[in-house]
Structure 1
Amino acid sequence: MGEIKVGDKLPLFGAKDQNGNDFYIASVLQKKILIIYFYPKDDTPGCTSQACFFRDQFEEFVALGAEVIGISSDSVKSHKKFETEYKLPFTLLSDQDKSLRKLFGVPNNLLGLWPGRVTYVVDKNGIVQLVFNSMRAEDHFSKVLEAVKRMM
């Protein structure tokens, strides 16, 4: 499909969540603001920091009508361990075959050796309002919060 950009309609997709259940984006699309973030790997310093930010801001995002979805190529089992260890209250999707990463056009970083970190914010109409690409997890925090508040 190529790289998803601001103004694009979010494609429909599905994957296994941290509980091994099938999750389909259509179940929340056009009902909530969506924060979809691709991250490199469970339980690494930057990824843990990013997940804990979403955990700590979760109630605020829910109050704003937003749903948080994290995606990496880790297994369902790895995601479950990550969720349990850090008490993550949101959906983690397993993209072991990297098909979602490819669907969104998420690039690899660090000389192509490490999966990229990209956050998408999608409005209730299913239109992408923010695409933020930075390997520095903390750079995503204010951008995401601003984008969600702007949609209110």
Structure 2
Amino acid sequence: MALKVGDTLPNFTAKDTNGTVFDSQNYIGKQSLVIYFYPKDNTPGCTAEACSFRDNYQDFKDLGAEVIGISADSVTSHLKFKSKFNLPFILLSDADKKLRKLFGVENSLIFLPGRETFVADKNGVILMIFNSMSSKIHIEKALQILKKA
């Protein structure tokens, strides 16, 4: 069942680019989260989206939020992607697609994994869910909702 605005983020764990286990419980109660699901490392749209999150990362931090990018790519792929584009935020590997299923992120265009962004306040309550294949809008929408929170 897909998450909706007003729901609380589910607890989840996944490997980050260091190969260590990220646990959402270490963040909930402490800071807002911007969690974005994207199709694939090093593709034009996903690279543009990641670089836009990078370029606006300090704005997210100033608003008390941490940014987390999630795709089915491996930890090794994420590490290369993060290094190549100097990404300062967390990337998580969802190789088994359990997180995508947990959040209810559907495929778009039949075969392509969906691009969806979730913004949650520091208590884990979802303030916004935004689904669009247009990568740039995700950053603008997330910043707008955090400024209002």
Calculate the TM-score normalised by the size of structure 1. 0.96
Segment of structure 1 superposing worse, 34-43 or 138-147: 138-147
Gaps of 5+ in 1: none
1:150 equivalent in structure 2: 148
Report 1:120-131 matches (<5 A).
120-131=118-129
Secondary structure of residue in 1 paired with 2:41? coil
- 1:104-119 equivalence runs, <5 A: 104-110=103-109, 112-119=110-117
Q: Secondary structure at the match of 1:46?
A: helix
Q: Does 1:18 align with 2:17?
A: yes
Give the superposition deviation at 1:139: 1.9
Between the aligned partners of 2:12 and 2:33, the Cα distance in structure 1 is 13
Partner SS, residue 15 of structure 1? strand
Q: CA deviation at 1:64?
A: 1.0
Alignment of 1:1-150 (within 5 A): 2-110=1-109, 112-150=110-148
Within 1, Cα distance between the matches of 2:7 and 2:89?
Answer: 24
- Could you tell me how far apart the structure 2 residues matched to 1:74 and 1:29 are? 25
Residue 90 of structure 1: how far off its partner (Å): 0.6
Aligned amino acid, residue 138 of structure 2 = H
Deviations 1:68-122 (Å, cap 9, x if unpaired)?
Answer: 0000000000000000000000100000000000000000001x20000000000
How big is the alpha-carbon RMSD for the aligned residues of Structure 1 and Structure 2?
0.6
Normalised to the residue count of structure 2, the TM-score between the two structures is: 0.98
C-alpha separation between the residues in 1 aligned to 2:139 and 2:90?
Answer: 18
